[in-house]
Amino acid sequence: MCGIAGIYHLETPKPVDPARVEAMCDAMVHRGPDGHGVWTAPGVGLGHRRLSIIDLAGSPQPMASSDGRAMLVFNGEIYNYRELREELRKAGAMFHTDGDSEVILAAWQRWGPECVSRLHGMFAFALYDCEARTLFLARDRLGVKPLFMAPLSDGSLAFGSELKALLAHPMLRREVDPLAVEDYLAWGYVPDSSSMLKGVMKLPAGHSLLLQHGKAMPDPRQYWDVSFTERRKGKVEDLEAELLHLMRQAVTSRMAADVPLGAFLSGGVDSSSVVALMAETSSQAVRTCSIGFDVAALDETAYASQVAQRYGTDHQVRQVSPDDFGMIDALAGMFDEPFADASALPTWRVCQLARESVTVALSGDGADEALAGYRRHLFQYGEDRIRALVPQAVRAPVFGTLGAIYPKADWAPRPLRAKTTLLSLAGDSAEGYARAIGFTPPELRDSLYSPEFLRLRGDYRAEAPLLDLMRRAPARSGLDRAQYADLKAWLPGDILTKVDRTSMAVSLEAREPLLDHRLIEFAASLPESMRVRSGQGKWLMKRTMQRFLPDDILYRPKQGFVTPIAQWFRGPLAQVARDVCSSAQLARTGWFDSRRLTGLVDAHLAGTSDNSRLLWQLLMLEKAFTKLGIA
């Protein structure tokens, strides 16, 4: 796990200052504290920060190919590198190291740009071919590893693993894109399709980009997609066996490391499944870690300890207070762009605990998206059945009117909070799901904006790209389209961004076995009844893991990391909430209605409505603007 950065001149191959590339890498020293290097040639510069995981002493980067023709900087892990090494060796390739970086170079020599489809793993890399004078950029299929890019005024393209690397380049403009603000308020993160700074781009997951001196920058090329169009047939027992094989294969391949390795263990289905399969393979006790909270309703350590005891893991538990609001500034600094998923705080805490004893930790991320494990998937499945029975011409006026007048009852028991469901049913399946996963609904966003911002935003709505993604998805049902949207937008934009930044902040490599692309492809082919059944998501996975885990682990309600931001903003952060409304940073933009913001804070403090998520969003936006140095 590492950080990469570089500069490539698209027009004339001007000299690249090594000190500039070095500065870009130094901005990400947390991603690679074990080593660094810079290589330059006419028109190109590549830089690397290394966190040593495999072949600790033998794979420094930037790395040259055996014939000296190509140069590589690489962030991530290739899990099938040993199999590829053997295949390439039989084809005549020569190897001088025991790591996976050299395998990428040999794969490029043999297959060119198509090499990326042969790599199984999480990665973002830049490979310069000195003979062809091309730069090849690639990102893994699901977007586990990030890659930011920005065309600059001198005709070059700067790129790096984090926005921090680009910010270290003096030519990067620090001008906010108002459309990205709309995206952020809608979703709680800035999606891969946009960036908070104008001119900055993110290479999409499952895409590559081939650049050549003297030619215009082309569009990225998609080399992988997941399809929900097929339906796997066969007995439940056979599908169960296939799923278990894929899970075992994914876990085992991600246990290769020359440094201490362990796992996060929350006590939920996904992390418990990963730990169970690790224990099955490991010749020694698996190292696991959990964090607990001093509020009983938020604490899951008893379930984690149950799994740890069952599999004899070397288990560490740390109790932390949910009142971690003192770390907000540090958290905002990790993400560069505003990021409003408050579970980033406890995620960072568990990464800190893991790093005390291991350098690599396996997580359970990905199963909910692949196998329909979120409650919203159950709602989507049920709502689509209603949509199939009631025509749109009836639903739109009836449910739309009811939803508009139904109170936003944040204080009420969950079954009585029907406003979102009614508004969801008023639209089609894609519109309903967009509303379900949204952070701040369009009606509320519109009320926050000033006339100036509405003018800048124009006809753009944050939901439009997601609706287009879902409607064009290779899918057969509304549930398929919802999961496709999760895998393509929510997963790289929120979940994987959160895990990458919080783990890399403490120089920890996090690996996600349940995001093995072969497992994802298999899950997408399952009939809906194998994913959702009897009010349960991840039905086939839970059935598969019954021989490994008890029912109170498999079938208890999903919880996840919780951060009590509603209480914070009515307690120790009450003044912070008031200050956000009058923030000089936000006020300077002229984009928000300060009276409306003040009213929302007053209502939250009075307890008449829960506006904590919006207040957290605005707080993170303000801090991101400050960190980015935006005037």
Collapsing DSSP states into helix, strand and coil, what is residue 76? strand
Residue 299, pLDDT score: 77
Q: Using an 8 Å Cβ cutoff, are 603 and 611 in contact?
A: yes
Q: What is the pLDDT of residue 391?
A: 67
Q: What DSSP character marks residue 495?
A: I
Cβ-count burial of 415 within 10 angstroms (0-12 exposed, 13-18 middle, 19+ buried)?
A: exposed
Task: From 559, 579, 599, give the residue that closes a domain.
Answer: 559
Kindly state whether residues 301 and 389 are assigned to the same domain: yes
Whether 468 and 404 map to the same domain: the answer is yes
Annotated catalytic residues are 2
Same structural domain, 546 and 587: no
Are residues 401 and 294 part of one domain? yes
- How far is C-alpha 384 from the geometric centre of its chain's CA atoms? 27
391 by Cβ neighbours in 10 Å (0-12 / 13-18 / 19+) ranks as exposed
Distance CA 484, CA 482 (A): 5
Let me know whether 285 and 212 are in one domain: no
DSSP string covering 34-54: TEEEEEEETTEEEEEEE---S
Judge if 148 and 295 occupy the same domain. Answer: no
The model's pLDDT over 401-443, given as tens digits with 9 standing for 90+, comes to 666 666 655 544 444 456 666 766 766 789 999 999 999 999 9
Which own/partner pairs from 175-180 qualify as long-range (CB within 8 Å, at least 24 positions apart)? 175/199, 175/630, 176/589, 176/625, 176/630, 178/453, 178/456, 178/457, 178/591, 179/457, 179/460, 180/337
Task: Write down which residue in 536, 559, 582 finishes a domain.
Answer: 559
Do residues 507 and 609 both lie within one domain? no
Distance CA 596, CA 594 (A): 5
* Number of other CB atoms surrounding residue 387 within 10 Å: 18
286 shares a domain with 384? yes
CB atoms inside a 10 Å sphere around CB 509: 23
Residue for token pair 């009614």: 422
Out of 559, 579, 606, a domain closes at 559
The pLDDT, as a whole number, for residue 415 is 45
Regions of the chain short of the pLDDT cut 50 = 411-416
- Structural domain boundaries enclosing 170: 3-222
pLDDT of the residue at 564: 81
Q: Are residues 375 and 410 both part of a single domain? A: yes
Amino acid at 8: Y
Q: How far is CA 206 from CA 203, 222, 436, 492, 493, in A?
A: 9, 6, 26, 11, 14
Sign of the four-CA dihedral 545, 550, 556, 562: negative
Phi and psi angles of residue 126, each rounded to the nearest 5 degrees, phi first: -125, 125
Residue identified by tokens 């504290």 is 33
For residue 620, which of 332, 348, 342, 345 has the smallest C-alpha distance?
Answer: 332
Q: How many helices (H) and strands (E) does the chain have?
A: 29, 17
Q: How many domains does the chain have?
A: 3
Q: Could you give phi then psi for residue 138, rounded to 5 degrees?
A: -145, 150
Are 298 and 216 found together in one domain?
Answer: no
Considering the domain architecture, whether residues 553 and 571 belong to the same structural domain is answered as no
CA 436 → CA 240, 431, 440, distances in Å?
30, 9, 10
DSSP string, 273-306: HHHHHHHHH-SSPPEEEEEEESSGGG--HHHHHH
The residue behind tokens 């998501």 is 537
What was the pLDDT predicted at 404? 65
Residues 173 and 254 in one domain: no
CATH code of 70's domain: 3.60.20.10
Spatial CB neighbours of 297, under 8 Å, sequence gap ≥ 6: none
Binding residues: 100, 291, 363-364
The domain that holds 482 is classified in CATH as: 3.40.50.620
Residues of the binding site for ATP: 291, 363-364
Would you state the structure tokens that stand for residue 15, as one six-digit string? 């000299």
Strand partners, 237: none
- As given in the structure block, the two tokens for residue 592 are 């928000």
